[in-house]
């Protein structure tokens, strides 16, 4: 069974092309999708720890901002 993707292939390919990559291989887009999913998962987990520390269940923009700063 194929792994469920959370990012659409076509918009990311268009983004890569807009960034100057005129020819983009399918496996290059697939690799980008896998990496983006991994980064998004890590950021969400870190943001959740910030929300839980503030005794909240909802992740806010501030939690995500802190997670991005913390993980970069």
Contact present, 29 and 12 (Cβ < 8 Å): yes
Contact present, 57 and 51 (Cβ < 8 Å): yes
Q: What is the pLDDT of residue 4?
A: 79
Domain ranges (residues) in the chain: 9-71
Homologous superfamily of 9-71: Histone, subunit A (1.10.20.10)
Name the CA dihedral angle for 28, 18, 42, 67, rounded to a multiple of 10 degrees: 160
| Cβ within 8 Å of residue 66, ≥6 positions away | 46, 47, 50
Neighbours of 69 (CB within 10 A): 9
pLDDT tens for the chain, 72 residues long, are: 567 778 999 999 999 999 999 999 999 999 999 999 999 999 999 999 999 999 999 999 999 999 999 998
């Amino acid at each position: 069974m194929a792994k469920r993707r959370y990012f659409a292939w076509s918009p990311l390919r268009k983004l890569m092309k807009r960034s100057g990559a005129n020819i983009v291989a399918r496996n290059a887009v697939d690799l980008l999708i896998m990496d983006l999913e991994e980064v998004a998962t890590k950021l969400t987990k870190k943001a959740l720890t910030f929300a839980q520390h503030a005794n909240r269940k909802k992740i806010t923009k501030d939690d995500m901002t802190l997670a991005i700063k913390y993980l970069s």
